[in-house]
Amino acid sequence: EVQLVESGGGLVQPGGSLRLSCAASGFTFSSYSMNWVRQAPGKGLEWVSYISSSSSTIYYADSVKGRFTISRDNAKNSLYLQMNSLRDEDTAVYYCARDSETGTPYSWFDPWGQGTLVTVSS
């Protein structure tokens, strides 16, 4: 069974840092690009960041560029999101999501993890 499990969320003060992890299983992790998507309480979905299968290509949403860093360890089947200089508006559930298989012309997110809640508050 394909599974993604996020961890690392919690309460952090404004200006603080947090590192999220996403453990993948049930598929060849090194063959897929990965994404982080977040959802503020009661709000819609916001794409945060993308990393290609080999880590050679990385993208960020403007709202997190310069503060967040996406990375992966294919040997450990794990995806990470290092979040620095956190702001109140970064409060959200953070999901990791697998991209479509490398080589397909279209891109979509499937499956998604269950999410981990990050709360930025003093």
Partner 1 sequence: DIQMTQSPSSLSASVGDRVTITCRASQSISSYLNWYQQKPGKAPKLLIYAASSLQSGVPSRFSGSGSGTDFTLTISSLQPEDFATYYCQQSYSTLATFGQGTRLEIK
Residues at the interface with partner 1 (CB under 8 A): 35, 37, 44-47, 50, 59, 61-62, 95, 100, 106-115
- Residue 86 and residue 89: Cα distance in Å, rounded? 8
Closest CB to partner 1 among 46 and 67? 46
- Residue 110 and residue 62: Cα distance in Å, rounded? 23
- Residue 81 and residue 75: Cα distance in Å, rounded? 17
Distance of closest approach, residue 60 Cβ to partner 1, in angstroms: 8
Closest CB to partner 1 among 35 and 72? 35
Closest CB to partner 1 among 5 and 78? 5
Distance of closest approach, residue 70 Cβ to partner 1, in angstroms: 13
Distance of closest approach, residue 5 Cβ to partner 1, in angstroms: 11
Residues 6+ positions from 3 with CB-CB distance below 8 Å: 24, 25, 26, 111, 113
Distance of closest approach, residue 34 Cβ to partner 1, in angstroms: 13
- Residue 1 and residue 68: Cα distance in Å, rounded? 30
